[in-house]
Chains A and B, each alone.
Chain A
Amino acid sequence: MGKQRVKFTFEETLVKEPVIYELGRKFKIVTNIRRAEVGETLGWVVLELDGEESEIQSGLEWVSSTGVRVDPLGGDVIDG
């Protein structure tokens, strides 16, 4: 089991989709939301995922496939 912290960014058409609910249902992952901001046309959620590493990996691939952006927490770790 492991934990991963990620940020999801939703654009206009996806803001109303229950992506996080589906993620917890389709995969053996516990989702724990820490902070979020949802506007009319854009939203983001910062959350912790708890589960087997392979399960989290597949879960995140599925999230990306819905068009939601998945990024590491707190911005890129690559720097200039």
Chain B
Amino acid sequence: MAFINGLKCRECGREYSAEPLNVCEFCFGPLEVVYDYATISEVVSQDSIAKGPLSIWRYKDLLPAQGDDPVDIMAGYTPLIKAKGLGKQLGLNNLYIKNDSVNPSFSFKDRVVSVAATKALEFGYETIACASTGNLACSVAAHCARAGVRAVVFIPSNLERGKIVGAAIYNPILVSVDGTYDQVNRLCSELADDYPWAFVNINMRPYYAEGSKTLGYEVAEQLDWRLPDHVVVPSASGAMFTKIWKGFNELACLGLLDGVESSSFGVDQNTVHHPAVKTKMHMQQAEGCSPIATAWSNKQSQVIPVQPDSLAKSLAIGNPADGIYAIKVIEKSEGSAYAVPESEIVNGIKLLAETEGIFTETAGGVTVSGLKKLAESGAIKSDELTVVYITGNGLKTIEAVEEVVDPLDIKPSMRSFEEMFQGAK
């Protein structure tokens, strides 16, 4: 069972029972899950987590869906690797990579979708749907295949091939919409009103988004229940960014970090900041779609939506649902936000591949280029413990780096090889 009391409006505080609902009926503010932390603190411990499965469901007591028989393709429990090569290049001696590109459907979205799909079945839905620029579509289709329920996924028709095939292979109802970004967005929002489906990022959103907290929990657990000094995170809606922060603070408040006293969650579970959480949160967006980074650098109190136009399609969300909350996290954590130039994205992908042997998609290129900038500017000092989140796999966006293919073309003879090889040396 899940230890939750219901939902609560982030803006006006009105409470609702745990239903498939994402906006407050009264003020239209976003709804968030309310946890029963008193009970959670009695059942959860470093030990209970260590005994759990090697997936996000080891943290089931901290997730808003029943975790005893979840829809699970083994999302999470991905490697945290000391990045010696990349660290050396950037002058960082204490750099780690959270390699979430190795999730079952090859992005961190498996974390959020596993929670949303489990919750959707709890609610009795028979169809799970989403609108996606790729990674979410792949993950929803995969989880539905596993659960044996129908998936309906909407994608813009100009997506990368790797993402289209990566979703289609699980045999969902795949709807490719030939329209502008805004048109796809509007259509899906109307569909969500009319069809009795679990839309993972609409009526399931309060539950769905919580899955990203596990990116915070895992890093803490893998660092022996310590938190890093800095994290570097790519953002689209800003949800993952805010949930990593929430995850760190939950661990602190529950007394699950080494040497940290537990403390109360206060009046607002979603904005609690335990003083022991000193991690600086650094957000990376691509310049072609950087509404949050722009709002932060211009010190705006609001995020102005933009029309996305970026190579990093998985980060190309023009009107980010959690933008304003993400800015509050940057402020509280004394972090930063940066709009990575489009021309740097491919360099970031190559840098990670050549120094660490990890092939990430365009979102990862954004993240690595942002990390480089943070190191060069001195915002991250060489000995500070830093974790960079690599959230998606390079095989989904091979078009972006096609230029690297430049083999030695030879005839099938020793002579031909030796000639070419000499030339190449």
Given contacts A42-B302, A75-B322, A80-B109, 9 further A-B contacts (CB under 8 A): A11-B304, A39-B301, A46-B27, A69-B304, A73-B23, A73-B28, A74-B28, A75-B237, A76-B319
B236 touches A80 (CB 8 A): yes
Q: How many residues of A contact B (CB 8 A)?
A: 22
A-B CB contact pairs (8 Å), 16 listed = A34-B27, A71-B319, A72-B319, A75-B319, A75-B322, A77-B131, A77-B192, A77-B199, A77-B201, A78-B131, A79-B317, A80-B237, A80-B313, A80-B314, A80-B315, A80-B363
Check if B264 is an interface residue, CB within 8 A of chain A: no
Which bucket holds chain B's interface residue count?
Answer: 35 or more
The answer to whether A9 and B305 touch (CB under 8 A), given A76-B321, A77-B131, A80-B135, is: yes
Check if A17 is an interface residue, CB within 8 A of chain B: no
Task: Report chain B residues within 8 Å CB of A74.
Answer: 22-23, 28, 30, 321
What separation, in Å, do the CA atoms of A69 and B291 have in the docked complex?
A: 14
In chain B between 303 and 320, which residues have their CB closer than 8 angstroms to a CB of chain A?
304-305, 313-320
In chain B between 162 and 187, which residues have their CB closer than 8 angstroms to a CB of chain A?
181, 184-186
What separation, in Å, do the CA atoms of A9 and B324 have in the docked complex?
A: 14
Check if A44 is an interface residue, CB within 8 A of chain B: yes
Taken residue by residue from 7 to 27, chain A's Cβ proximity to chain B (1 for < 8 Å, 0 otherwise) reads as 001010000000000000000
> CB < 8 Å: which of B11, B134, B186, B319 contacts A80?
B134
What separation, in Å, do the CA atoms of A35 and B319 have in the docked complex?
A: 17
Check if B188 is an interface residue, CB within 8 A of chain A: yes
The answer to whether A76 and B304 touch (CB under 8 A), given A5-B28, A34-B28, A35-B11, is: no
What separation, in Å, do the CA atoms of A42 and B133 have in the docked complex?
A: 29
- How far apart are A53's CB and chain B's nearest CB, in angstroms? 10
A76 touches B320 (CB 8 A): yes
Task: Report chain B residues within 8 Å CB of A39.
Answer: 301-302
B302 touches A76 (CB 8 A): no
Q: Nearest B residue to A2 by beta-carbon distance?
A: B193
- How far apart are A12's CB and chain B's nearest CB, in angstroms? 11
